[in-house]
Amino acid sequence: MPEEGTRFGVQIACAAMHWPECLEITQAAEELGYQSVWVPDHYTATPDGLTPDIHLPLLDGWTALAALAQATRRVRLGPLVASATFRHPGILAKLAATVDHVRGGRLELGLGGGWFELEHTSLGIPFPGIGVRLRRLEETIRIVRALFTQEAVDFEGEFFQLRGAVSEPKPLQKPMPPLVIGATGEKVALRNVARYADHWNTYCPAEWYPAKLAALRRHCEAAGRDADSIHRSVMLPLYLEEDEAVGRKLASWGRMVRAQGDAVREWFLVGDEAEIRGRLDRFLALGVGTIIVQVDRRAGNARTLERFAKTFLR
C-alpha cells in the first residue's frame, strides 16, 4: 500500500476532450481525494504518445487552468509542464500570478524546456537544439523568480533583456508558487532541477529512475543543496483494463523508447491489481512522493479514477 503521506495527482491529456469532460474529471479527482490536477501545455496533440494529429481539438492549458480554478475548492492545479519556448518570461510570470490569484493561491508552476518540434514549426515558433532550449529555460526561471520577488528587475541574458521590468500583482503564494521542473536529461536538465526546483517531475519506468535520481544527487551536491529537500513525482498513464487501443499505445511507446514487453509496461499503470501495486511500490521505495496518473480521451475517465482511488489511495 502507498505510504502515509503519499500524494496522488491527475494529469488530463486534453487532446480531443471537450470542456465538459475536462471539468468532470477535475471535479471527480477533487471529490475522490486526489491532491492535484495538471494539464499539458501543447498546441498539437499526440493521441498515442508518438504520432501527431494536428486535426484533434486541444484546449489551451492556461485558459483551462483559470477556468478549473473557479470550479474547484481544494485541489492544487498546474501545467505539467509549461514550455519555456512558447512565451516570454514576463508574459509567463503574468499568467502564473493571475491564475494563482484566480484560484486563491493553489497554483503549482510547472516549467520545462519544450520537446515537440512539430507544434513549433507548424506555428512558426523557433525550435532550437536541446542545449539552447535548456539555457532558455534557465533564463526563464531566473526572470520569473525575480519578477515574483523584486519590485523591479534588470536582466541581461543570452535570450532576454529586461530594463526596470515590473510585474504586479505578485502571486498570492509567497515568495512564489512551488516551482515544478519537468526533466529527464541527466547532464543539464537535472542540473536546473538541483539549482532551482521545489519539485521534480519525470516520466520514466522505475528501472530508469535510480540513474536519474543519482544524477540529481550529484548536481545537488555540486550546488550545495540537499537533494531530499526537492519533492519528487512521476507521471504514469492509467489504464486499469487492457483493450486493443491500449495495446496500440503500448506498441507505439515501445517504438519510441526502443523497448518491448515488460520494459514498455513499466511506463504504464496497466494490468491487474498486483501488477499495478508492484509498479507503484517500486517508485515509492525510491522516494517518489507523488504519483500523477494520466488519463486521456477514453470514455469513463471519472469512473476509472474512482476505481483507482478506492483500490490504491486508501
165-216 pLDDT, tens digit per residue, is 999 999 999 999 999 999 999 999 999 999 999 999 998 889 899 999 999 9
Give residue 243's pLDDT.
Answer: 76
Give residue 1's pLDDT.
Answer: 45
- Residue 53 confidence class, pLDDT cut points 50, 70, 90: confident
C-beta of residue 108 within 8 angstroms of C-beta of residue 178: yes
C-beta of residue 41 within 8 angstroms of C-beta of residue 83: yes
* Of 150, 133, 157, 141, residue with least CA distance to 198: 141
Residue 303, burial from CB neighbour count under 10 angstroms (0-12, 13-18, 19+): exposed
When pLDDT is averaged across residues 234-263 and rounded to a whole number, the result is 75
H/E run at residue 133: helix 130-149
When pLDDT is averaged across residues 92-119 and rounded to a whole number, the result is 95
Tens-digit pLDDT profile for residues 73-104: 999 999 999 999 999 999 999 999 999 999 89
Region of 261 on the Ramachandran plot (φ > 0 left; ψ -120 to 50 alpha; else beta) = left
C-alpha span between 258 and 254 (Å, rounded): 5
Better-scored residue on pLDDT, 256 or 191: 191
Compute φ and ψ for 98, nearest 5 degrees. Answer: -60, -50
Which of these ranges, 174-178, 236-240, 242-246, 254-258, has the smallest mean pLDDT? Answer: 254-258
Fold of 7-313: TIM Barrel (3.20.20)
Which of these ranges, 41-55, 250-264, 272-286, has the smallest mean pLDDT? Answer: 250-264
Q: Are strands 153-156 and 161-165 parallel, antiparallel or unpaired?
A: antiparallel
The DSSP symbol for 44 reads S
C-alpha span between 220 and 223 (Å, rounded): 5
CA distances 241 to 67, 161, 247, 268, 275, Å, are 31, 51, 11, 11, 12
When pLDDT is averaged across residues 265-278 and rounded to a whole number, the result is 89
- Taking the model in full, what pTM does it have? 0.93
Give residue 199's pLDDT.
Answer: 98
Average pLDDT of the chain, as a whole number: 91
Which of these ranges, 61-65, 149-153, 252-256, has the smallest mean pLDDT? Answer: 252-256
H/E run at residue 20: helix 19-32
Better-scored residue on pLDDT, 23 or 52: 23
Residue 135: Cβ within 10 Å count: 18
The DSSP symbol for 53 reads B
